């Protein structure tokens, strides 16, 4: 089952919520729609569900245009951010709702709901009312309710938004397992890049109603198409350089001029892992002091300050940090092993497709 | 109609169109039609009829019937009664609401129930309990008689009965408002050195002023329009103990249609003014709330 | 505090207690003879029957009005909204007077209805009409805030599960409205049961036929039979308290599903 959006736009009055979005979701995929709030991702989800009608463009399911198919006939499962459980119905009746609408025989409803209750670890809770459940249980009921009529696609709007941090982690893992078991095409909306990276097969990144990039978590992290994506996914150091004496410079740092004329400006970005540091002050070309150390578990994030006052962020494994005998305030030498050009001079407002400049492609988790 | 259907829900499209959770256009139109028709026939038509009947024999007949001495004294009595009852119930309402909303004490639930009581007791029964107290055969009847004080079948009885039926209005309007406000602002004022009275005057009262006005308007409308309770205690002495609603009944019984409707038109005007003020107040309150809300985020920025 | 208690006692409690003491002085047999006389029983039947019908009419039309006022935007909506309170603002005597006139043989509506055999003025039908009028705002005003705060997501969820509009209303919206609807119904019913002024004008006021309970009380009072009037009043008071308690229970029930 594939879902396709062809140049879909949506306007609310004079406000443009989604602009010219085209994307395809293949059968059995687990896709994240990621972006800052107000980016249009929820509107895209609602259009796929049929809760909003595109202002222009086509929405296709299995190659058929479904723009005019009402929400009731689309056979989608939708999980709302607030879960929208029916307060006056028991857990059982909530899950059975879609089956009852479809006039499923009672015996079949019983079997299906029992099966789902078991699958979702909700055994024995069938007669409870929604307000008697915990946040995590409510969410599972909401997903079970959406899945009960065997929808062709499961849509989730900020599925982990309403639960606290600890449960959120469990739920993420649970959703991945669930998807592996049921293999139903799943699209979810999130503003949390970490969540998108961890859960999905592919990420669709939105900003201000536009689609910025589609790709696997690794692709969007390692090959961000533009500065927005690069900055939104993970941490990015950004420098604005000027071409001077045949090199792109900012204070003591210098980079190749990339054939740009004198006086031209250039923005580059690089991930923290691209900054390599050493206790040996002769080992790398530049000098800096460790201003701040943030403990993130096995990894540490360091804030470096160069003599001219530039602040750069880098990461280092804890063992390496200790082996080198580093601490806050230590002087180090560093180099930038890889970076990408985000934009040049005149068109700095519309980031062009960046190209990677590095000797070796370096892989690392986030 | 047909045009509307083919074009789809026109009204819905320009705002958030929530497809699949909206009724088809023609269903909406039917529902709106029923609602408007019902209110039109059931509420507007009776109102228009009051004026139509009052002016059935022309303007001069209308004026003339309003100038009947008994009708004029009925108007005066009605104004007098509401002039006494509204301030008394205003004071009571504010104090009772304050006590209920800001303090915890035993019997609070009972007090709230008691405040609501006149709403759930038939006006005729309300009137009756005063007759039992102060009437000739009542508890205090003989004693009052000996002192030559008349309450029942006299103005004091009318005032008392009106007090009873109108006293929930102000308190009822204020209790939820004061409860919602909480006591943070008041406590802040107290820590700044304000006395209890200053706090009440400068902090509590201004924050509920619209609700207060609203309660007063409703209280006044009921005070002027009360029929059942007043009817029991009044004695229906034309020119003496007849309020405007009772006067209407008398005129109606005497088949003086124009005169009855003329008197009724005065109360209908009162109702319209009440509605107008109420609508205006609600709008005031809404805009003030909206302003308050748009204020707070900007104040956070600095 | 002291003031409000004193005021309450003076205006409410003492007179009310007086009434009850007076009635308790009656012998039980006398009480039953008066309070459950044929005339009184006929009046109770009419009062509660007509009030029930009026409240039921308001439950249906009030739900419709509340729905239209909260869900649709159309010209004149605000006026319609304001008009709903009209029966609260209009003295009941005026309401009775104009309704009786409107539906009489020569009235604006009566001239069409009477030839069709629909007699609403000076009949029990008229009583229902008047009671419907005076209790109209209750259902609308109790339902409106509930409908305004109703989560649209619930209706969307039903739609994504395949439910059509009517089905969504019946299975999702209506059950959520039910407690408020019943509260509104009870309030309207309570108001109708106690109503006197408007009915006086539109009813033919015949004992056993078209006489409501407050009229029975007035009847005894006119004959200076205070004890009898009080006996009937006590029955009405008990009914009022029963309704009051019902409303409280309903409100507690309604809060059951919150959070």
H or E stretch at A7: strand A3-12
Is residue B4 over pLDDT 70?
no
Pairs across A and B, CB distance < 8 A: 22
**pTM for this structure?**
0.81
Least CB–CB distance from C74: residue in B32, B49, B96: B32
Task: Yes or no: say if B227 and B161 are a contact pair by the CB < 8 Å rule.
Answer: no
Residue A18 has pLDDT above 60, yes or no: yes
Residue corresponding to tokens 């806050």: A328
State how far the Cα of B262 lies from the Cα of B227, in Å rounded to an integer: 17
ipTM above 0.90, yes or no: no
Q: From residue A316, how far is each of A64, A77, A274, A364, B171 by CA, in Å?
A: 51, 43, 10, 11, 67
The tens digit of pLDDT for each residue in B102-131 reads 777 777 777 777 787 788 788 898 888 888
Residues 6+ apart with CB under 8 A from C188: C54, C55, C58, C59, C62, C135, C136, C138, C139
Q: Which residue has the higher pLDDT, C71 or A252?
A: C71
Q: Which residues contact A2 (CB under 8 A, 6 or more apart)?
A: A24, A25, A26, A27, A61, A62, A63
Confidence check: pLDDT of C58 > 90: yes
- Cα–Cα distance for residue pair A62/A87, rounded to 1 Å: 35
Domain membership of residue C233 (yes or no) is: yes
Task: List, as ranges, residues 101-120 from A with C-beta within 8 Å of C.
Answer: 101-102
The reported pLDDT for the residue numbered B2 is: 34
In a domain, C12, yes or no: no
Is the CB of residue B43 less than 8 Å from the CB of residue C87?
A: yes
User: Could you tell me if residue C9 is inside a domain?
Assistant: no
Tokens coding A338? 């890889």
Please report whether residue C115 resides in a domain: yes
- B86 SS3 class: helix
**Averaged over C170-193, what is the pLDDT?**
90
Mind spelling out the 3-state secondary structure of A310-346? CEEEEEEEHHHHHHCCCCCCCEEEEEECEEEEEEEHH
Which among C194, C192, C186, C190 has a CA at the least distance from the CA of C253?
C186
Length of chain B: 302
Give residue C36's domain range: 27-254
For residues B99 and B179, give the distance between their C-alpha atoms in angstroms, rounded to a whole number: 10
Would you give the DSSP letter of residue C256? Answer: G
Residue C175's H or E segment, with its range, is: helix C174-194
Tokens of C165: 């509009």
The answer to whether the Cβ–Cβ distance between C82 and B278 falls below 8 Å is: yes
Least confident of A349-358, B15-24, B134-143: A349-358
Reported for C40-46, long-range contacts at CB under 8 A and 24+ positions apart, including other chains, are C40/C213, C40/C216, C40/C232, C40/C235, C42/C207, C42/C208, C42/C209, C42/C211, C43/C211, C43/C212, C43/C213, C43/C215, C43/C216, C43/C232, C44/C213, C44/C235, C46/C124, C46/C127, C46/C210, C46/C211, C46/C212
Distance CA B26, CA C72 (A): 13
Interface contact B18, partner A, CB < 8 A: yes
Looking at the partner chain, which of A12, A13, A51 has a beta carbon nearest the beta carbon of B19? A51
Q: How far is B144 from chain C (nearest CA, A)?
A: 16
Q: Report how far apart, in Å, the C-alpha atoms of C62 and of each of C56, C59, C182 are.
A: 9, 5, 12
The pLDDT assigned to A321 comes to: 82
In contact, A342 and A223? CB cutoff 8 Å: no
Chain C residues within 8 A of A138 when measuring between CB atoms = none
Chain A residues whose CB is inside 8 A of the C150 CB are none
**Residue A287 touches chain C, beta carbons under 8 Å:** no
* CB of A57 closer than 8 Å to CB of A5: yes
Q: Of B19, B23, B24, which to mutate for an interface test with A (greatest number of A Cβ within 10 Å)?
A: B19
pLDDT of residue A208: 85
Place of tokens 């000027």: A242
Which residues are within 8 A (CB) of B57 and not within 5 positions of it... i.e. 6 or more apart? Answer: B258
Axis-axis angle for helices B155-166, B123-134 (nearest 10): 140
For residue A5, pLDDT over 80 is answered with yes
Residue A102 and residue C162: Cβ atoms within 8 Å?
yes
Tell me the average pLDDT across A234-244: 81
Query: Total structural domains in chain C?
Result: 1
> Is C7 inside any structural domain?
no
Q: How far is B299 from chain C (nearest CA, A)?
A: 28
Write down the pLDDT at residue C10: 65
pLDDT band at C257 (very low <50, low <70, confident <90, very high): low
- Phi-psi map region of A180: left, alpha, beta (phi>0 left; psi -120 to 50 alpha): alpha
| Partner A contacted by B6 (CB < 8 A) | no
Q: Say if residues A130 and A86 touch (Cβ distance below 8 Å).
A: yes
Is residue C50 within 8 Å of residue C135, measured between CB atoms? no
pLDDT surpassing 90 at residue C64: yes
pLDDT of residue C28: 82
Q: Residue C1: inside a domain, yes or no?
A: no
CA A107/CA A87 separation, integer angstroms: 24
Cross-strand partners of A23: A5
- Taking the CA of residue A217 and the nearest CA in chain C, the distance in Å comes to 30
Interface of C with A (CB under 8 A): 151, 153-154, 156-164, 167, 171-172, 175-176, 178, 257-259
pLDDT reported for residue B292? 62
pLDDT one-digit tens code per residue, A218-235:
888 888 888 888 888 878
Identify the contact set of chain A against chain B, taking CB-CB distances under 8 A: 12-13, 50-53, 70-72
Residue A71 contacts C where some CB pair is shorter than 8 Å: yes
pLDDT surpasses 80 at B182: no
Q: Decide if pLDDT at B283 tops 70.
A: yes
How far is residue B160's CA from residue A325's CA, in Å, rounded to a whole number? 91
**Subunits touching C (CB < 8 Å, at least 3 pairs)?**
A, B
The structure tokens listed for B18 are: 């929530």
Q: Which two tokens stand for residue A117?
A: 């209750």
Residue B266 near residue B71 (C-beta atoms within 8 A): no
Averaged confidence pLDDT in chain A: 83
Please give, rounded to a whole number of angstroms, the shortest distance from the CA of C149 to a CA of chain A.
13
* Token pair listed for A87: 């307060």
Contact (CB<8Å) A84/C159 = no
Residue of C nearest to B264 (CA): C94
B295 Cβ contact list (under 8 Å, min separation 6): none
Q: How confident is the model at residue B24 (pLDDT cuts 50, 70, 90)?
A: confident
With CB atoms and an 8 Å threshold, state whether B17 touches A72. no
Q: What angle do CA C96, C56, A86 make, to 5 degrees?
A: 140
Q: With contact defined as beta carbons under 8 Å apart, do B54 and B131 qualify? A: no
Give the Cα separation of B301 and B290 in Å (integer).
18
According to CATH, the superfamily of the domain at A3-223 is: P-loop containing nucleotide triphosphate hydrolases (3.40.50.300)
Closest CB to A80: pick one of C153, C178, C258: C153
Does residue C221 belong to any structural domain of this protein? yes
Share of residues in chain A with pLDDT > 90 (%): 22
Q: Domain containing C217 — which CATH number?
A: 1.10.3720.10
Which residues from C are below 8 Å from A73, CB to CB? Answer: 162
Chain B hits for C153, Cβ within 8 Å? none
Please give, rounded to a whole number of angstroms, the shortest distance from the CA of B22 to a CA of chain C. 7
Nearest to C68 by CA among A284, B27, B246: B27
State whether residue B13 sits within 8 Å of chain C by CB. Answer: no
Numbered ranges of CATH 2.40.50.140 in chain A: 230-364
Say how far apart CA A138 and CA B152 lie, in whole Å: 64
Cβ contact C160–A149 (<8 Å): no
B196: its two tokens: 């209890």
For residue C11, being part of any structural domain is answered with no
- Superfamily holding A230-364: Nucleic acid-binding proteins (2.40.50.140)
B39 and chain C: CB distance < 8 Å anywhere? yes
Neighbours of B6 (CB within 10 A): 8
Q: Write the CB contacts of B246 (distance below 8 Å, at least 6 apart in sequence).
A: B74, B227, B230, B231, B234, B236, C93
B18 with A52: Cβ contact below 8 A: yes
Question: C1–B103: do the CB atoms touch at under 8 Å?
Answer: yes
Determine the residue among B8, B11, B20 to mutate to test chain A binding: the one whose Cβ has the most chain A Cβ atoms within 10 Å.
Answer: B20
Say which residues have a Cβ less than 8 Å from residue A285's Cβ, sequence separation at least 6.
A333, A335
Range A57-80 burial, b when 16+ CB lie within 10 A, else e: bebebeeeebeeeebbebbbbbbb
Does the structure show a pLDDT above 60 at A238? yes
Range with the poorest average pLDDT among A96-105, A350-359, C25-34, C228-237: A350-359
Q: What is the pLDDT of residue B1?
A: 32
Percent of chain B scoring above 90 in pLDDT: 27
């Amino acid at each position: 089952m594939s879902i396709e959006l062809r140049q879909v736009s949506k306007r609310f009055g004079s406000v443009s919520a989604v602009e010219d979005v085209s994307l395809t979701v293949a059968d059995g995929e687990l896709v994240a729609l990621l972006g800052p709030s107000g980016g249009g991702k929820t509107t895209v989800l609602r259009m796929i569900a049929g809760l909003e009608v595109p202002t222009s463009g086509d929405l296709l399911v299995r190659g058929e245009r479904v723009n005019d198919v009402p929400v009731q006939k689309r056979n989608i499962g939708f999980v709302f951010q607030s879960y929208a459980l029916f307060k006056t119905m028991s857990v059982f009746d909530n899950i059975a709702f879609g089956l009852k609408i479809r006039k499923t025989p009672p015996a079949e409803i019983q079997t299906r709901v029992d099966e789902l209750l078991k699958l979702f670890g909700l055994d024995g809770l069938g007669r409870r009312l929604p307000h008697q459940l915990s946040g995590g249980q409510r969410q599972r009921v909401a997903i079970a309710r959406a899945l009960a009529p065997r929808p062709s696609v499961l849509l989730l709007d900020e599925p982990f938004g309403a639960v606290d941090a600890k449960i959120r982690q469990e739920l993420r893992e649970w959703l991945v397992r669930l998807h592996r078991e049921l293999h139903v095409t799943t699209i979810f909306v999130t503003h949390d890049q970490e969540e998108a990276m961890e859960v999905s097969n592919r990420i669709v990144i939105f900003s201000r109603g536009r689609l910025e990039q589609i790709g696997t978590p690794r692709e969007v992290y390692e090959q961000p198409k533009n500065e927005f994506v690069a900055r939104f996914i993970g941490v990015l150091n950004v420098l604005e350089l000027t071409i001077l004496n045949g090199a792109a410079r900012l204070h003591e740092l210098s980079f190749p001029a990339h054939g740009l004329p004198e006086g031209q400006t250039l923005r580059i970005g690089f991930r923290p892992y691209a900054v390599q540091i050493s206790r040996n002050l002769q080992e790398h070309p530049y000098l800096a002091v460790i201003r701040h150390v943030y403990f993130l578990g096995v990894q540490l994030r360091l804030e470096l300050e160069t003599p001219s006052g530039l602040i750069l962020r880098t990461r280092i494994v804890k063992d390496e940090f200790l082996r080198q005998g580093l601490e806050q305030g230590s002087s180090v030498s560093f180099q930038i092993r890889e970076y990408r050009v985000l934009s040049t001079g005149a068109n700095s407002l519309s980031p062009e497709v960046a190209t990677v400049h590095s000797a070796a492609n370096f892989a690392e988790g986030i | 109609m047909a045009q509307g259907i083919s074009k789809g829900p026109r009204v819905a499209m320009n705002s958030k169109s929530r497809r699949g959770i909206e009724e088809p256009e023609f269903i909406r139109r039917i529902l709106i039609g029923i609602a408007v028709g019902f209110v039109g026939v059931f509420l507007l038509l009776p109102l228009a009829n009051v004026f139509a009947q009052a002016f059935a024999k022309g303007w001069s007949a209308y004026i003339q019937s309003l100038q009947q001495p008994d009708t004029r004294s009925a108007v005066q009595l009605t104004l007098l009664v509401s002039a006494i009852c509204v301030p008394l119930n205003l004071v009571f309402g504010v104090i009772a609401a304050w006590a209920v909303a800001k303090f915890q004490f035993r019997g609070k639930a009972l007090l709230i129930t008691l405040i609501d009581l006149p709403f759930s007791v038939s006006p005729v029964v309300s009137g009756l309990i005063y007759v039992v107290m102060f009437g000739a055969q009542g508890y205090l009847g003989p004693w009052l008689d000996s002192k030559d004080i008349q309450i029942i079948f006299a103005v004091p009885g009318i005032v008392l009965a009106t007090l009873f039926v109108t006293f929930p209005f102000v308190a009822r309007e204020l209790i939820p408002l004061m409860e919602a406000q909480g006591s943070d602002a008041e406590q802040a004022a107290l820590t700044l050195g304000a006395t209890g009275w200053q706090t009440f005057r400068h902090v509590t009262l201004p924050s509920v002023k619209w609700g207060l006005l609203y309660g007063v308007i409703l209280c006044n409308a009921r005070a002027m329009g009360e029929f059942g309770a007043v009817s029991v205690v009044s004695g229906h002495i034309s020119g003496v103990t007849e309020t405007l609603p009772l006067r209407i009944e008398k005129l109606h019984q005497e088949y003086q249609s124009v005169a009855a409707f003329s008197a009724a038109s005065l109360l209908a005007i009162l109702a319209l003014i009440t509605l107008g003020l109420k609508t205006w107040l609600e709008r005031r309150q809404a805009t003030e709330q909206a302003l308050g809300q748009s204020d707070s985020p900007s104040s956070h920025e600095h | 505090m002291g003031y409000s208690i004193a005021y309450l006692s003076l205006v409410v409690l003492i007179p009310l207690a007086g009434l009850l003491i007076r009635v308790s002085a009656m012998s039980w047999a006398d009480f039953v003879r008066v309070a459950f006389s044929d005339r009184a029983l006929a009046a109770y039947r009419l009062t509660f029957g007509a009030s029930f019908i009026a409240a039921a009419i308001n439950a249906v039309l009030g739900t419709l009005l509340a729905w239209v006022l909260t869900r649709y935007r159309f010209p004149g909506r605000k006026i319609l909204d304001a008009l709903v309170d009209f029966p609260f603002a209009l003295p009941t005597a005026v309401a009775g007077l104009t309704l009786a006139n409107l539906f009489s043989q020569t009235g604006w509506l009566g001239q069409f209805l009477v030839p069709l055999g629909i007699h609403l003025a000076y009949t029990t039908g008229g009583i229902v009409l008047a009671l419907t009028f005076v209790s109209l705002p209750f259902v609308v005003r109790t339902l409106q805030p509930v409908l305004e705060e109703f989560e649209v997501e619930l209706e969307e969820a039903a739609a994504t599960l395949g439910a059509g509009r009517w089905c969504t209303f019946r299975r999702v919206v209506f059950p959520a409205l039910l407690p408020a609807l019943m509260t509104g119904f009870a309030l309207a019913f309570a108001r109708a049961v106690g109503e006197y002024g408007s009915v006086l004008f539109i009813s033919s006021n015949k004992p056993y036929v078209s006489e409501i309970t407050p009229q029975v009380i007035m009847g005894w009072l006119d004959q200076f039979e205070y004890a009898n009037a009080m006996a009937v009043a006590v029955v009405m008071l008990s009914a009022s308290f029963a309704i009051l308690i019902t409303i409280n229970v309903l409100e507690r029930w309604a809060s059951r599903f919150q959070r």
